[in-house]
């Protein structure tokens, strides 16, 4: 899911790709942000992109 955030996908797009509800994706994104100590989706996207370059 973090990779899809890094690719710029919205919650709706991620939900459609993973066959999940939009609410479930929102919960997962919130958990990812919390566990990684990130403020927002932009920070998560930057982290995902930097990890892919390594």
How many contiguous H segments (helices) and E segments (strands) does the chain have?
Answer: 4, 0
Q: What is the pTM of this model?
A: 0.86
pLDDT of res. 51 = 87
Dihedral Cα 21, 18, 15, 46, nearest 10 deg = 130
User: CATH number of the domain at 2-53, out of 3.30.465.10, 1.20.20.10, 1.10.10.10, 3.90.230.10?
Assistant: 1.10.10.10
In whole angstroms, what is the distance from residue 23 CA to residue 36 CA? Answer: 20
Q: pLDDT tens across 1-50, in order?
A: 999 999 999 999 999 999 999 999 999 999 999 999 999 999 999 999 99
DSSP annotation of 50: H
């Amino acid at each position: 899911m973090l990779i899809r955030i890094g690719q710029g996908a919205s919650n709706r797009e991620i939900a459609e790709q993973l066959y999940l509800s939009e609410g479930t994706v929102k919960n997962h994104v919130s958990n990812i942000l919390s566990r990684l100590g990130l403020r927002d989706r932009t920070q998560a996207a930057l982290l995902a992109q930097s990890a892919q370059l390594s």
